Amino acid sequence: MSTATIAVLVALGFGVMLARRRSFAIWLLTAQSLLLGVAALTLVDEGPGLLLAGIILVVRAVALPALLSLTRRRTPEPGPVTPATTVVVRLLVATVVCLIAVASVPPLGLGDVAAEHGAIALLCLGIAIVIMRRPALVQVLGILVAENGVYLLAVSVHGGLPFAIELGVLFDLALIITVAAAFAHRIHGEIGSGDTDLLRGLRD
Binding site for other proteins (CB under 8 A): 84, 97, 100-101, 104-106, 120, 123-124, 127-128, 130-132, 134, 139, 142, 196-197, 199-203
CB of 46 to other proteins, least distance (A): 28
The distance of closest approach from Cβ of residue 101 to other proteins in the complex, given in angstroms and rounded to an integer, is 6
CA dist 71 → 43, 133, 136, 183, 187 (Å):
33, 17, 11, 10, 12
Of 30 and 196, CB closest to other proteins: 196
Question: Residue 34: helix, strand or coil by DSSP?
Answer: helix
Nearer Cβ to other proteins (56/115): 115
Whole-angstrom distance, CA of residue 4 vs CA of residue 9: 9
Instruction: Decide if 154 contacts 161 (C-beta within 8 A).
Output: yes
**Nearest-approach distance from CB 100 to other proteins, in angstroms:** 6
Distance in Å, CB of 195 to other proteins, minimum:
11
SS3 4: helix
In the bound state with other proteins, the residue whose beta carbon lies nearer, of 84 and 174, is: 84
Return all residues near 168 (Cβ < 8 A) that are at least 6 apart: none
